[in-house]
Amino acid sequence: DGGITQSPKYLFRKEGQNVTLSCEQNLNHDAMYWYRQDPGQGLRLIYYSQIVNDFQKGDIAEGYSVSREKKESFPLTVTSAQKNPTAFYLCASTPLTRPGDYGYTFGSGTRLTVV
Amino acid sequence: AQSVAQPEDQVNVAEGNPLTVKCTYSVSGNPYLFWYVQYPNRGLQFLLKYITGDNLVKGSYGFEAEFNKSQTSFHLKKPSALVSDSALYFCAVRALNSGNTPLVFGKGTRLSVIA
């Protein structure tokens, strides 16, 4: 079955450590997105990519980095510069042809906790 | 700029009663509108969408939503609530003619259906 796989489901980070969250899709979708979810704040866009080797900053990109070397993969690195990284991270994708018709397909999320 | 407002953080309803979850939006031009549902520690699942056509849109699990252009609203409704409908609901929007700009999500409304 096609879908989006996020791993790991739970991740613990020590202070000053970089961690990478994986997002892989086999839907042949062009665009991929990373959102951060905090209680009461909804979904906030971190980065998105519409084509391989290109990506754009979202509303809260500081302290995060991404790459898009393959169409299927869009990993997110939470760097030590992100001062409050504890949150639930969601990856999503959509085809760019008639994107409004499809909305987004979401992964199951990664819960990151700073210890 | 695009924006979505979900004015209620929490909606409580008795099982069997009708439910409404409110959403208002702001875009330049005509909107794509979506409703998603999220269960604990999971990604968002698509419920329904409005692009053009009939103002009453029917979606998954018996949900429907009414598009009202004059009031810029897209309220989610269900005639008879189930305990299993208890979840977090998100409204999202993007402008029809905005190219491939990302969806903007509301802050979410937590629905609690009481037996």
- Residue A73 confidence class, pLDDT cut points 50, 70, 90: very high
Question: How confident is the model over B71-93, as pLDDT tens digits?
Answer: 999 999 999 999 999 999 999 99
CA–chain centroid gap for B5, Å, is: 10
For an interface test with B, give the residue of A7, A45, A104 to mutate (most B CBs within 10 A): A104
For residue A101, pLDDT over 70 is answered with no
**CA-atom Rg of chain A in angstroms:** 13
The CA distance from A35 to A48, in Å, is: 9
CB contact under 8 A, B102 and A45: yes
Asked if A113 contacts A87 with a C-beta cutoff of 8 angstroms, the reply is: no
- Residue A102, pLDDT above cutoff 80: no
Contacts of residue B95, defined as CB under 8 A and 6 or more positions apart, other chains included, come to B2, B27, B28, B29, B30, B31, B32, B101
Q: Please give the structure tokens belonging to residue A30.
A: 């062009």
Q: Which of A96-110, B1-15, B27-41 has the lowest mean pLDDT?
A: A96-110
Chain B partners within 8 Å of A25 (Cβ): none
3-state secondary structure B61-109: HHCEEEEECCCCEEEEEECCCCHHHCEEEEEEEEECCCCCCCCEECCCE
Q: Are the beta carbons of A40 and B107 separated by less than 8 Å?
A: yes
Of the given ranges (A74-88, A101-115, B76-90), which has the lowest mean pLDDT?
A101-115
Q: In whole angstroms, what is the distance from residue A73 CA to residue A51 CA?
A: 11
Around Cβ B98, how many Cβ atoms within 10 Å? 16
A43: chain B residues, CB-CB within 8 Å? 44, 90, 105
Cα(A49)–Cα(B60) distance, rounded to whole angstroms?
Answer: 29
Does the beta carbon of A61 lie under 8 angstroms from any beta carbon of chain B? no
Longest dimension (CA), chain B: 45
pLDDT at B1: 80
| A95 in reach of chain B (CB within 8 A) | no
Chain A: residue whose CA lies nearest to B105: A43
Name the residue in chain B with its Cα closest to that of A111. B41
Q: Identify all chain A residues contacting B34, using CB atoms and an 8 Å cutoff.
A: 103
Q: Which of A93, A64, A94, A68 is nearest to A81 (CA)?
A: A64
Task: Say if CB B10 and CB B110 are below 8 A apart.
Answer: yes
